[in-house]
Amino acid sequence: MEPLSTATAFATLVNLLGLFKAELRDSTPDVAQAFMEFLSANGYQELRERLEQNQTTTISIKALLNQRTEELLQKLSQLDQRMAAAASGVTDVEAIARALHPESILSPQAFSLLEQLEQKGAHGFIVSEAMGRDPELLVLGGSQGTLKYSERRFIEDDLRVLEELGFLRPDITSQGNAKFMMTRAASDLVRAHG
């Protein structure tokens, strides 16, 4: 496959899975075979051949397509939002992602938090709040210290978006403070933008 085709194959496959599942008849006996025929009938023979070369991929597609339509479409929607978030900071592409999923684009501050965690080799951070001062984001693991942020009024929103997109996993400390752990997806995102 050409480089451009390789770069877009996954996004194309996700889109085609959603389209196929939305049109699928419940009485289809072999859903995986029906999907492969759908690919061929719609001009995606090369994609079909790539998928059929890998038995694990074929089994995964069959498992996905055997899920309830609502469940699969919800998963694909979450994936679509994560792909939009991954476009944050990518010139030209970010504008398109922002138009389609404004709620999924990471603000510069949110992305900076992930970058700082990655640079420090941190596992996550604790939100330390005290009367009369802005919350401190205390780094866990790595080189310690605090995470810097500049827009106090949007920090809660940025943390919510990072959590919803699966880049931070929320928890509570034994003292009742909010704690956020960095996910592998967040680390991968930062390294991809590196």
Give yes or no for a contact between 112 and 159, defined as CB atoms under 8 angstroms apart.
no
Q: Domains in the chain, ordered, with CATH?
A: 3-103 (no CATH), 106-193 (1.10.10)
Host H or E run for residue 179: strand 178-182
**Cα–Cα distance measured from residue 100 to residue 89, given in angstroms and rounded to the nearest whole number:** 15
**Cα–Cα distance measured from residue 59 to residue 68, given in angstroms and rounded to the nearest whole number:** 16
> At residue 118, what are phi and psi to the nearest 5 degrees?
-65, -45
Per-10-residue mean pLDDT of the chain, 194 residues long, equals 60 84 72 89 89 86 83 82 76 77 82 96 93 89 91 94 92 94 92 80
pLDDT score recorded for residue 102: 74
Locus of tokens 């003292």: 175
pTM over 0.85: no
Host H or E run for residue 170: strand 168-172
